[in-house]
Structure 1
Amino acid sequence: MSLHDVEQTRDTQGALRNEPVQARSTARLTALLDAAAAVVDEIGFERLTTAMVAEGAGASIGTVYRYFPDRIAVLQALAARNLHRVLERVTTEMMDEKHGDWQSALSAAFEIFVEAYRTEAGFRGLRVGDVLDLRPAHQERTFNSIVSDRLLDGLISRFGFADGPDIRFTFETAMEVSDSLATRAFARDPHGDDAFLVAGREVVFSMLAKEFDPIVPAP
């Protein structure tokens, strides 16, 4: 497991008291984060405690504090892991040549996020950390902004769209709408309410069509 790729989004390594440098330490950290994810799935991130993490990982409370100063640091590290895993999959999928247009590539990206909601432990409750955004108010970039930029960067690289502040704003707005509807879809149903998921995709595609689809002159 590597957390270095998400340092730009959250100083996760700064939250760790000891960065693991050996396989045993890495495995121990993985077990702690897996235990935290299980707690988040069961009772929500708000009620997670370091004692629960220790018990779930079969470790002592001292082991938890060896890596994390408090429960917030545990959640930050788990959110960073979620973000890293999802963005790694999304980037790989969007660059696949089997996707001949932006709709296909973005649909595949959405499916990865939906699958993470359904199967990635801790993701439905914590997502990529946007529900636990503790950064100072003057730092404007949110976790959703980071995800939006990564998705748009992939589309620009793959299909050669022109970049610029307007398309960035439109795309991020569309992603916020999609995130809201996805959150609603999984609020009561761990599998996700398909009606809200479909609606989210349709709204996003409608918002982006004017930016990405070529304008065909009238005959």
Structure 2
Amino acid sequence: MTGFFITFEGGEGAGKSTQIDRLRRRLEERGQSVIVTREPGGSPRAEEIRAFLLSGGAKPFGAFAEALLFYAARFDHLEHTIRPALMKGIHVLCDRFSDSTRAYQGASGNVDKHLIEGIERVVVGNNKPNLTLILDLPVEAGLRRADLRREGNGERVDRFEGEGLAFHERLRQAYLDIAANEPGRCVVIDADHDPDEVEASIWRAIQGRLPQLAAASRDAVAHGS
């Protein structure tokens, strides 16, 4: 079995990192090989681009320039991290992927969707996720969570967290539109609940959309892996 590619999407404070870690542990406990990665980033060169983007270095050049940099990082990430893992049968859990560019720079940044789709065809090709989990919650709740996380970790507001409420409302709607347009790949998860409930919803989505993965996990447990 080749590896499955599962991406997590959503606005600020949606709890992606928490749920990715929970899914990783659940799969590893069932004998599955898993790597966790992120975008922008996930490979050495892509991490360099990440630092520039999140510092706001590309913002003066506009949303289209940012989109190009995201796809440059994505190209390196796919080449050096995602594809090699999938070819070895390792499952990849990724914190954001191309849907983030479609939502942040496309719908929220007003970059023409046809331009983004054209770049995506070249960079991503057939390497679309098997499943995309969109963690959705009201914008105000997500921004409050993000504020609390930064306070606890001593972090500064990054390029996108610092945008206004209207930007984040457009972002949320963009993700819901993506899910509505691609229901075979995307599942919207209500993230406005405690982490245990969200985790349970994610596992139900995997059982429904990737039964091979759930079955492989059960087999691993049954054989003592």
Shorter-chain-normalised TM-score: which range?
Answer: 0.3 to 0.5
Q: Which has the higher helix share?
A: 1
With normalisation by structure 1, the TM-score equals: 0.33
